[in-house]
Amino acid sequence: EAQVTQNPRYLITVTGKKLTVTCSQNMNHEYMSWYRQDPGLGLRQIYYSMNVEVTDKGDVPEGYKVSRKEKRNFPLILESPSPNQTSLYFCASSFTGSHLPYEQYFGPGTRLTVT
Amino acid sequence: KNQVEQSPQSLIILEGKNCTLQCNYTVSPFSNLRWYKQDTGRGPVSLTIMTFSENTKSNGRYTATLDADTKQSSLHITASQLSDSASYICVVSVYGDSSYKLIFGSGTRLLVRP
């Protein structure tokens, strides 16, 4: 089944304790992206990757890191989490192509609480 | 600044009724416009995708329209069902030389009551 998977789905952690949220897709998509969703703000892009070893900042990259060593994986790293990073996180992937409206598939979400 | 604005913020309708959600955008360079449905706590699911040359697209009881001149889109839901209760998100794609970004609206929360 074609899908985007995220792990963990729920995580409670403490301020400053490094964590990684994994994202994997099995559709051979070039494009992958991380978003956070907060009440009343909609989804905001954190980082995205156009292909392996190509990453770029989205609208709210502060406090996050990413890497794209393999096509299927795009982990989100919080080196020193803070309470303002408490949020619902979504990973997404799609094909890319000049102006072609490829479907973007979202993962099930990771609910992170930083105390 | 690239922005996508949706209205209303929330809407309550009775089962079986129709409704229309609005989306205005100021995004450049425009690539395409999408409508997503998001159930609470779950990832968004695509309903329609339209390029600038398309002005209407349907997916079952969902019909999206796009006016690229006025930079407006609407999502019309016909004969609503209880399962239509969700947030509906308008998203505009920006495709540059080496970047590809989605600009999200904050969504319209729809509640369908029996």
B107 and A42 within 8 Å at the Cβ level: the answer is: yes
What pLDDT, on a 0 to 100 scale, did the predictor assign at position A101? Answer: 67
Residue B46 and residue B16: Cα distance in Å, rounded? Answer: 22
Task: State pLDDT tens for residues A68-84.
Answer: 999 999 999 999 999 99
What pLDDT, on a 0 to 100 scale, did the predictor assign at position A41? Answer: 81
Q: How far is B12 from chain A (nearest CA, A)?
A: 18
Q: Quick one: pLDDT band at residue A109, thresholds 50, 70, 90?
A: very high
Task: State pLDDT tens for residues B17-61.
Answer: 999 999 999 988 787 899 999 998 899 999 999 988 889 999 999
> Which among B42, B95, B102 has CB closest to A104?
B102
Rg (CA), chain B: 14
Residue A31 and residue A77: Cα distance in Å, rounded? Answer: 18
Q: Tell which of B35, B104, B108, B109 to mutate to test the A interface (max A CBs under 10 Å).
A: B104
What pLDDT, on a 0 to 100 scale, did the predictor assign at position B27? Answer: 84
Given a cut of 80, whether residue A51 has pLDDT beyond it is yes
What pLDDT, on a 0 to 100 scale, did the predictor assign at position A97? Answer: 63
Quick one: DSSP state of residue B57? E
Region class of A99: left (phi > 0), else alpha (psi between -120 and 50), else beta: left
